[in-house]
Amino acid sequence: MEMPELKQVSEVVYELGRDFRPDMHVPLRVFADAQLLGQLKRDHSLGQLVNVCTLPGITHYALGMPDMHEGYGFPVGGVAGTLLPDGAISPGGIGFDINCGVRLLASSLRFPDVESQLPTLVHELSRNIPTGYGRHGRLSLSRDELDRVLNEGCKYIVREKQLGLEEDLERIESQGSLPEADASRVSERAKQRGQDQLGTLGGGNHFMEVQRVDAIFDEPGAKALGLAPEQLTVLIHSGSRGLGHQVCTDYVRLMDQALSGYKISLPDRQLACAPLSSKLGRDYFVAMCAAANFAWANRQVLAQRVRETFSRVLGAGPNSKLSLVYDVAHNIAKVEQFGIQRLCVHRKGATRAFGPSSPDIPAVYRGVGQPVFIPGSMGTASFVLVGTDAARDLSLNSACHGAGRALSRTAAKKEVTGHLLRKELEGRGIIVRCASNTELAEEAPIAYKDVERVVDVVTRAGIAKKVARLVPRGVLKG
């Protein structure tokens, strides 16, 4: 599809009007600077965002975050709100890895005080955390217990399985437990895939990092989040594993077959959707909530394994305490209120970014803003930001979710070998644990956009505020 020039509407916001294609219901807006815009024009992401503009009930704009890149159906880094009660919900607007997300833990330790123990720490983490696809966790759940994880999420894991602290719950998006979840709408096949995967990192771009706080940009914000220079932090990036993948697979198939019944016509089958007011739309929504609960529970178990490892290697006691800063989803649909409108906000590779006045963020972060985590690529910095009140009107309370891919996996492997990359990272003092050199090369820093530039655009657009920069010292790659 031939893409026209986008109209620049402010410093880092570009727009394409709905007159571009007759089936668009709304215009689209992209947050980017000239260089990022040039990068995203090289793949099909803008065309995919145009397709998103055709979703039934879509309102405001289809939005592209600065890390946007080509996906399937929705672009990765795409946001769309549909007006309820009858607006559509599209599993392709959430993705196969439902509630893929990021959790940040902050240690009470300073990095220089434990630097000599880092090799042992990363080695023990790699022994304690199963990585790679299809890997089984140590937590064996009965089918009833799995259903409780799906229905209750982190509340069940913390309160009944005793994995974590009560205070963790407040610092997880939606307390790690979406009440609408209904395990009975999750297929037997999805449950089979997820049965023994709780507490596993998974493959692909999932990872865990031991980091050092390298810079603070906002002192009061950092203090509220419990972050200080030279502090040791741990970042976990994982999702709902095979269970979530199967929920998406199941409902894309069902919705693809039901489209004509709803008289919905779409430019891309992967955008298959149903009105949220329909039985099928509702069934998917409650199944997606269950998969999201599973993902939060997964990151809760992973965090507990990290805490156990820290205690074992660095000694138990208050000095090795790991506090949860926040846990945020970046592949999810949420029902959110915007004035008198109730929207189903799809965030595919995008993070919710509620501002300081939002009543839906933890009490400790009111007046500060909801933490937003932007992990860089392996070996580059990650950023901690907080949402702004302006994000509500600018971006449907959304910000980006990472650096965003710039090169395909094949192209990355042509540019760099896993073996040499491992050496290069270790030469920079970063310890890497990854079983497959192929997968390591696929996630090489060169395959990603410049995270500093992406974060700069988010900040200039006013949708989130920079708080701290974290640099990796140990990486465990899925």
Partner 1 sequence: MTSQPTHWFEEHTGEVQLHLVAPTLGQLFEEAAKALSELMVEQLAEDPAPSVELVKLSAPDREALLVEWLNELIFRSETQQKIYGEARILRLSDTELEAEIRGKTPERLGTAVKAATYHRLKIVSQENGYAAKVILDV
Q: What CA dihedral angle connects 357, 362, 367 and 373, to 10 degrees?
A: -100
Distance CA 404, CA 449 (A): 6
268 binds partner 1 (CB under 8 A): yes
Of 293, 328, 72, residue with least CA distance to 190: 293
Distance CA 229, CA 231 (A): 5
Place of tokens 């790991």: 322
257 binds partner 1 (CB under 8 A): yes
Closest separation in Å from C-beta 252 to partner 1? 7
436 binds partner 1 (CB under 8 A): yes
203 binds partner 1 (CB under 8 A): yes
438 binds partner 1 (CB under 8 A): yes
323 binds partner 1 (CB under 8 A): no
For the question of residue 401 being annotated catalytic, the response is: yes
Distance CA 411, CA 416 (A): 9
Are 429 and 94 in contact by the 8 Å Cβ rule? The answer is no
Query: Which residue lies nearer to partner 1 by CB, 441 or 470?
Result: 441
> Measured on CA atoms in the order 136, 140, 146, 148, is the torsion positive or negative?
negative
76 binds partner 1 (CB under 8 A): yes
Binding segment (CB under 8 A) for partner 1, from list 154-162, 287-295, 350-358, 407-415: 407-415
50 binds partner 1 (CB under 8 A): no
Site for partner 1 in 147-186 (CB under 8 A): none
Catalytic residue among 69, 245, 330, 401: 401
Of 177, 101, 151, 173, residue with least CA distance to 287: 151
Distance CA 358, CA 354 (A): 6
Q: Which amino acid is at 7?
A: K
192 binds partner 1 (CB under 8 A): yes
Query: Which residue lies nearer to partner 1 by CB, 214 or 268?
Result: 268
Binding segment (CB under 8 A) for partner 1, from list 157-165, 189-197, 390-398, 417-425: 189-197
- Which residue in the set 153, 242, 356, 474 belongs to the binding site for partner 1 (CB under 8 A)? 242
- Which residue in the set 204, 221, 281, 472 belongs to the binding site for partner 1 (CB under 8 A)? 204
Are 131 and 203 in contact by the 8 Å Cβ rule? The answer is yes
97 binds partner 1 (CB under 8 A): yes
376 binds partner 1 (CB under 8 A): no
Of 329, 247, 245, 255, residue with least CA distance to 288: 247
270 binds partner 1 (CB under 8 A): yes
Of 397, 373, 376, residue with least CA distance to 325: 373
Helix axis angle for 241-258 and 279-314, nearest 10°, is 170
- Which residue in the set 56, 57, 64, 71 belongs to the binding site for partner 1 (CB under 8 A)? 71
Taking residue 380's Cβ as centre, other Cβ atoms within 10 Å add up to: 15
Q: What angle do CA 434, 440, 445 make, to 5 degrees?
A: 125
70 binds partner 1 (CB under 8 A): yes
Taking residue 256's Cβ as centre, other Cβ atoms within 10 Å add up to: 17
Query: Which residue lies nearer to partner 1 by CB, 270 or 323?
Result: 270
78 binds partner 1 (CB under 8 A): no
443 binds partner 1 (CB under 8 A): no
> Where does this chain bind partner 1 (CB under 8 A)?
43, 45, 69-73, 76, 92, 95-97, 132-134, 189, 192-193, 202-204, 242, 245-246, 248-249, 252-253, 256-257, 268-270, 272, 405-411, 435-436, 438-439, 442, 478
Catalytic machinery residues: 401
